Structure 1
């Protein structure tokens, strides 16, 4: 073999190795934010634990949605959490958060005599109805198990 060919192949291999190392280093930087701290994704188990221990904080209503005399209340169930405001005998659903494994199927936000939200999982549907009883928030839950008909 010719010496030139060996030097050319060696140079090409060195350049390829250097480029590969630079690429690996650059990709490793993607996992660090501007402060230099590494960022990693949460595992599904970690997400489940965080969601199971998180409390649904009531969302603040827009100033035009409730008046100064509105009374708010929060309710939590196995299917999810809701926050409602009562003013002038009408219910306004401020926030709703389904529990892990549930989704939101339907929302009747109000303001109305009755506001509602439907939380649904693969095997259960829960309808949470919110009213204002004597000016204070009240909730009722109707939960139905879903059965597959084959």
Structure 2
């Protein structure tokens, strides 16, 4: 009976060695994907380069198309809780461009007025109005939270 026990023990030992080898190979293969250069953090300069190469993912909505360039000093940009507002005065008329922030969408744009609304509940609203005074845009913002 001792030879039978010896064979069983050798079989268990071989199975354990095989299991450890399979685990080591699997970790080696998976580890190459985890620690390769694709998974490493990027330096600030690398992030800036990659962002500069990407197109702007933020859609903008325009109240009306701009047919002529704005005169020097006739454009103004302002960040609001709902997004970025860019206004131009062209021939005394205000032109409004809206780019929503994360979590907001452009609800409406009518002439020189527009509104951002929260995508989660529509209760968080940012209303913007643009006027042209002396060829320079003036942006007023009203933030409503209900």
* Same topology, TM > 0.5: yes
Report which of the two has the higher share of helix.
2
1:97 aligns with 2:90: no
Change (3 A) 1:95 1:28: same
The SS at the match of 1:69 is coil
Q: What per-residue deviation string (whole Å, max 9, x for no partner) do you get for residues 21-64 of structure 1?
A: 2223333333334x376359xxxxxxxxxxxxxxxx9x797xxx
Contact persistence 1:90–1:131 (CA under 8 A) = yes
Which structure: larger Rg?
2
Taking structure 2 as the reference length, the TM-score comes to: 0.55
Query: How far apart, in 2, do the equivalents of 1:60 and 1:118 lie?
Result: 15
Q: Structure 1 regions of 5+ residues with no counterpart?
A: 41-56
Change (3 A) 1:66 1:19: farther
Counterpart position of 2:47: none
Q: Structure 2 regions of 5+ residues with no counterpart?
A: 43-55
After TM superposition, the structure 1 = structure 2 runs for residues 31-46 of structure 1, keeping only pairs within 5 Å, are: 31-33=34-36, 35=37, 38-39=40-41
Q: What per-residue deviation string (whole Å, max 9, x for no partner) do you get for residues 121-150 of structure 1?
A: 88x72323142414433322222332xxxx
After TM superposition, the structure 1 = structure 2 runs for residues 44-123 of structure 1, keeping only pairs within 5 Å, are: 66-70=66-70, 71-77=74-80, 79-86=81-88, 87-88=90-91, 89-98=93-102, 103-109=103-109, 112-119=111-118
Taking structure 1 as the reference length, the TM-score comes to: 0.54
Q: What per-residue deviation string (whole Å, max 9, x for no partner) do you get for residues 62-115 of structure 1?
A: xxx5455134321124x24413142452423152325xxxx21543356x3323
Counterpart position of 2:46: none
- The RMSD of aligned alpha carbons is 3.9
